[in-house]
Amino acid sequence: MTKAVIVSTLLMSFMATGGAEARKKWEFPVSPYFWLQSWSGSIGTGNTQPIDLSLSDYLDKLSWGASGHAEALYGPWALMFDIVYRNLKPDEGDLLADIDLVQVELGAAYEVGLWVPTGLTFEALAGGRYYGANVLLKDMGIEIGDRDKHWVDPIIGGRVVRPFKEAWTAVLRGDIGGFSVGSTFSWNLVLGVGYRVGTMSFFVAWRTMGVDYEEGSGADKFVWDTVSTGPGIGLTFHL
C-alpha cells in the first residue's frame, strides 16, 4: 500500500493541468492537407464488390478531392473541425463505376494532463463524424445500382502532443466510434510530426481509418466496409 502511494505521488508530481496555461487567448490553427490512401474491403449497393486499391491505384483513379482541419484553442479546450472529400472514378469496365465520399468531423478535446519533464500533453476528445457516400455500379455500361447513404458516428478518443527540439512537434491521435448508432464500428489512428516556422507549420503524417457500415438486405442492401491507410502532407496556418 505504501509503495502504491509513493508511486502515485511521484506520478502526480510529473502530471499537471497547467500545460494549456500558455493559451490565454484564442488561437486558430487552420490546416489544408492531402491524404493519399490505399483502400481495401467491400463496397456495394445490393451487389457487394471487393475493393483493393494501392496508393498508386488510388492516385490514378482519384478524380478530385479536398481536405482540411481547423481548431479553435483556448486554455485546456480545443474545438475541432475536419473534412475529407474524394471522388474516385475506376477504370472503364470496372463494376464500381463511381465513388463519392465526404467525411465531416466535429468534436472537442480537453487537456487532462501534462508530463512536465517532456512537455507531453494528454487530451481526451469526443464528438461525431458524418459520412456521406454515393456509390454507382455499372455492368457493361448499364447502371445496376446507385445508392446515396448518410450516417453519423459518435466518436471518443484521445490525443498526445509531444514538442521536441524547439520547433518540432509529434502528435498521436486515436478514436473509435459507431457503436451501431451509425456504423457498426469505426476507428481512426493518426501519427504525425510537424515543424513550425513563425506562423506556419509543415507536417507529414500517416493515417489509418476503418469503417464498417451496413444497411438493408437483398437488392436494397448497402455495404461500406473499408480500411483506408496512407501518408498525408499539409500546412498549418496559426491565426
How is the chain split into domains, by residue range?
2-238
CA distance 55 to 39: 8
State the pairing for strand pair 185-197/77-88: unpaired
Residue 16 has pLDDT above 70, yes or no: no
206 phi/psi in degrees, rounded to 5: -125, 130
In percent, how much of the chain has pLDDT > 70? 84
Pick the CATH number of 2-238 from 2.40.160.50, 3.40.50.800, 2.40.128.100, 3.40.640.10: 2.40.128.100
61 phi/psi in degrees, rounded to 5: -95, -5
**If you average pLDDT over every residue of the chain, what do you get?**
86
Q: Tell me which amino acid residue 12 is.
A: M
Residue 200 has pLDDT above 60, yes or no: yes
CA distance 64 to 85: 8
Residue 95 has pLDDT above 70, yes or no: no
Task: State the pTM of this model.
Answer: 0.87
Q: Is 93 exposed, middle or buried (0-12, 13-18, 19+ CB in 10 A)?
A: exposed
Residue 18 has pLDDT above 70, yes or no: no
Residue 143 has pLDDT above 50, yes or no: yes
The single residue listed with the C-alpha cell 464500381 is 96
Residue 8 has pLDDT above 60, yes or no: no
- pLDDT at residue 4 in the model: 37
Neighbours of 71 (CB within 10 A): 19
